Chain A
Amino acid sequence: QVQLVESGGGVVQPGRSLRLSCAASGFTFRNYGMHWVRQAPGKGLEWVALIWHDGSSKYYVDSVKGRFTISRDNSKNTMYLQMTSLRAEDTAVYYCARDINSRWYDLWGQGTLVTVSS
C-alpha cells in the first residue's frame, strides 16, 4: 500500500550525529518532492527540510542549516536526513511527508523519535 516509513531515531548525545531514513512504497517515489517535518514534545509542527523530486534542489529551516543534510536515493525509494552537531533543541518526532505541487503534504509517515540528551 501507499506508505512512508521512517527509521533511525534514538537517543544520542549532544554534538553527535544520526541519520534518519524514510522508505517509500506503493507510489512512484521519484515523481515527488519530499520533506522532513518535526515536532518537539508537546509542541507544534515545524518544517525542517525539502528535497525536490530529482534531488536537484534542497531547502532547510534556518536552525538546521549547516548541520542537517537532506538527500534521496530514487533507486531505493528512500529519503534521508543526516543530522550532525545535534543539540537538545533538536529533540523531536521527525516525520517525512510527500509533497504535492510544492504546496501541501498528502502522505505522512508515522514518525521516528530523536532524543538528544547526555
Chain B
Amino acid sequence: DIQMTQSPSSLSASVGDRVTITCRASQSISSYINWYQQKPGKAPTLLIYDAFSLQSGVPSRFSGSGSGTDFTLTISSLQPEDCATYYCQLGYNTAPLTFGGGTEVEIK
C-alpha cells in the first residue's frame, strides 16, 4: 500500500502568516492527492482535490501544489478560523484511500 507522510505534525503561526504543510507519498501518485480540514469535534471537510483544485466554497487563501511524490497545502494568509487539523489523502482510485497523519495548526 502507498503511505502518505505529512509534516510537520503541528505548527504555530500568527494571523496573516503564510503556512505550508507538506505530504510525501511513498511512490508516485501523479496528482492524486486531496486535502481536508478538520476542526475540533467536527467532521472533516474537503479543501482541495486532485492536488490543486479548490472545492466549491473554500476560501482562495487555500491552495495546493505538487505532483509525483511531493505535495503542499498552502494557506496564504492565516486566519483565526483556520485553526484546525489538516489531512492529506491519497486520491488514487483504489482502496485504501490512505490519509496522512495530520498537521495541527494553531494560532500564536
The residues of A with any CB-CB pair to B shorter than 8 Å are 35, 44-47, 50, 59, 61, 95, 100-106, 108-111
Interface size on B, residues (CB 8 A): 26
Q: Are A47 and B102 in contact (CB under 8 A)?
A: no
Can you list 6 contacts pairing A with B, beta carbon distance less than 8 Å? A44-B99, A45-B38, A45-B87, A95-B44, A103-B32, A104-B91
Residue B50 interfacial (CB < 8 Å): yes
Residue B66 interfacial (CB < 8 Å): no
A35-B97, A103-B49, A103-B50 known; A95 vs B55 contact (CB < 8 Å) = no
Chain B residue numbers with a CB within 8 Å of A103 are: 32, 34, 49-50, 91-93, 97
Contact of B34 among A95, A104, A110, A111 (CB under 8 A): A104
B45, closest chain A residue (CB): A108
CA distance A85 to B78 in the complex (A): 45
A44-B101, A44-B102, A45-B102 known; A105 vs B96 contact (CB < 8 Å) = no
Q: Are A105 and B87 in contact (CB under 8 A)?
A: no
Q: Are A47 and B34 in contact (CB under 8 A)?
A: no
Q: Mark B62-101, 1 if CB is under 8 A from A, else 0.
A: 0000000000000000000000000101011111111111
Q: Are A47 and B96 in contact (CB under 8 A)?
A: yes
